[in-house]
Amino acid sequence: MTSVMNDVTAPTVGLDARRMSRAAEGAIAAVSLLLGISIPNLLGNGKWGWILIVAALSYVSLTYVGSRVLEDRRQATDRVMRATLTVAFVLVMLPLLSVTWTVIREGVSRFDGTFLGGTMRLTPEDLLAQREGFAAGGAFHAMVGTLIITGLAAAIAIPLGLLTAVYLVEYGRGRLARAITTMVDVMTGIPSIVAGLFAYALFVIIFGPGSRTGIAGGVALSVLMTPVVVRSAEEMLRLVPNELREASYALGVPKWRTILKVVIPTAVAGILTGITLAVARVIGETAPLLIAAGLAQETNVNPFDGRMTSLPVFTYYQYVQPGIPTEAGVERAWAAALMLVLIVAALFVLARVLANVLKPKGLR
* pLDDT digit string, tens, across residues 176-209: 999 999 999 888 888 999 999 999 999 988 888 8
The whole-angstrom separation of Cα 243 and Cα 266 is 12
Superfamily of domain 130-363: MetI-like (1.10.3720.10)
Are residues 122 and 332 in contact, defined by beta-carbon separation less than 8 angstroms?
Answer: no
Is residue 22's pLDDT more than 90? no
Binning pLDDT at 50, 70 and 90, where does residue 8 land? very low
Q: For residue 42, what pLDDT is reported?
A: 75
User: What pLDDT does residue 9 have?
Assistant: 42
Q: Which amino acid is at 95?
A: P
C-beta separation of 338 from 107 below 8 A: yes
C-alpha span between 192 and 214 (Å, rounded):
16
Residue 306 near residue 216, CB atoms below 8 Å: no
Average pLDDT over residues 69-73: 81
What pLDDT was estimated at residue 193?
92
Q: Does residue 237 contact residue 170 with C-beta atoms inside 8 Å?
A: yes
Model-level pTM? Answer: 0.80
> Could you report how far apart the first and last alpha carbons of the chain are, in Å?
59
For residues 69 and 220, the model is more confident at 220
**Is it the case that residue 144 has pLDDT exceeding 90?**
yes
In this prediction, residue 129 has a pLDDT band, given cuts at 50, 70 and 90, of low
Q: Would the pLDDT of 153 be above 90?
A: yes
Contact yes or no for 231/238 (Cβ under 8 A): no
pLDDT band (50, 70, 90) for residue 7: very low
Q: Quick one: pLDDT band at residue 59, thresholds 50, 70, 90?
A: confident
Closest CA to 130 of 331, 340, 274, 297: 331
What single-letter DSSP state applies at residue 298?
S
Q: Please classify residue 267 by burial: count the beta carbons closer than 10 Å to its beta carbon, then call 0-12 exposed, 13-18 middle and 19+ buried.
A: buried
Mean pLDDT, residues 298-322 taken together? 88
Name the pLDDT band for 289 (thresholds 50, 70, 90). very high
Q: What residue ranges do the domains of the chain occupy?
A: 19-109, 130-363
Task: State pLDDT tens for residues 228-240.
Answer: 999 999 999 999 9
